[in-house]
Amino acid sequence: MWRAVAPGLARADAEILARQFVLPPEIVARVAADVPEGRGRCAALWARAREEATPALAELGQRIVPSATWTDLVVPAETEVALREVAAAARARALVDPWGPVRHGARGEGLAVLLAGPSGTGKTLAAEVLAGTLALDLWRIDLSGVVSKWIGETEKNLRRVFDAAEAGGAVLFFDEADALFGKRTEVKDAHDRYANVEIAYLLQRMETYRGLSILATNLRANVDQAFLRRLRYVIDLPFPDEAARRAIWQRHIPPSAPTDGIDLDALARLDLPGGAIRNVALNAAAAAAASGEPIRMGHLATAARREFAKLGRLGAGLTLEAGR
């Protein structure tokens, strides 16, 4: 169909577009009409098809247009290798498709991933990097808002998410998965039984989804081993060590920012994850800009104290010199 409405488009490019975007003929024709012939036409067709395939998920999720790249991600080498394998597997689907049984096996073609790690260690950022690498939108679905106390409603909400996303194969990122996995207990009543049914339904849809779907959990121990076996990849994002924290601080206080007396080694000793470091850096930068000053250690110390207090760790971070 793509070659019929876009003369001159290479067969391989047409097949890639057809596999990624499930669009009605009139939409394909409109996309092709909007993109003139010339160099880079396939990339331009991809971008337009991506716009047309944007799912209607506003009620259940948040659309994130990826901007982060691999250089923004500060994780152990083995974690980055695993994430790059996920991206490669998603890209290779077009090559593996003709193999049929080798790909599908007993379940489906879905690429289901679990990202596990403490809050603030970069799970959302990793999902954004993966989506950006694949040139696809990322939809963040907060499972705490999808899970319902009413029996059967959670499955209905999940069905809406997957059905809406099918057209463009958008990357689905299910955040706060603990809201679902944390409910799993020994079956003592109907609600316990349905909690397990909801988890099984989510994993079944992830296995059959055409695109990449990602679960994020702060507590890997809550996820039953039987469910872990049904996921293609399980990737841990650990709490950053001092060297990693220093690298994260460097990214959030770039050389272009006006600074005075910043001590990255002292900052790296603060026991904070990447997400909290970002908050401290942003709040310190805002305070410095409001007072017409460069960013100083005093701004960072104040912002760090507030971040520690927010995390329930009063008194932490007092080693920074507020007067610098």
What backbone phi and psi angles, to 5 degrees, belong to 73? Answer: -95, 120
141: which strand partners?
61, 174
What backbone phi and psi angles, to 5 degrees, belong to 216? Answer: -120, 130
pLDDT of residue 4: 77
Q: How far apart are CA 110 and CA 208, in angstroms?
A: 5
CB atoms within 10 A of CB 121: 25
148 contact partners, CB below 8 Å, separation of at least 6: 154, 157
pLDDT of residue 53: 76
pLDDT of residue 114: 94
112: which strand partners?
213
Residue numbers of the chain with a pLDDT score lower than 50: 103-106, 185-187, 189-191, 322-324
pLDDT of residue 322: 43
Confirm if 148 and 38 have CB atoms less than 8 A apart: no
Residue 117: HSE in the Cβ half-sphere, 13 Å Cα cutoff: 21
DSSP SS3 for 217: strand
Alpha helices in the chain (DSSP H): 2-5, 11-20, 25-34, 41-52, 77-91, 93-96, 101-104, 123-133, 143-146, 153-165, 178-181, 190-208, 225-228, 242-252, 264-268, 274-290, 297-310
pLDDT of residue 39: 76
pLDDT of residue 190: 46
pLDDT of residue 324: 44
pLDDT of residue 171: 92
pLDDT of residue 150: 64
pLDDT of residue 94: 57
pLDDT of residue 99: 53
Q: In which order are the strands placed within the sheet that holds 233-236?
A: 61-64, 138-142, 171-175, 212-217, 111-116, 233-236
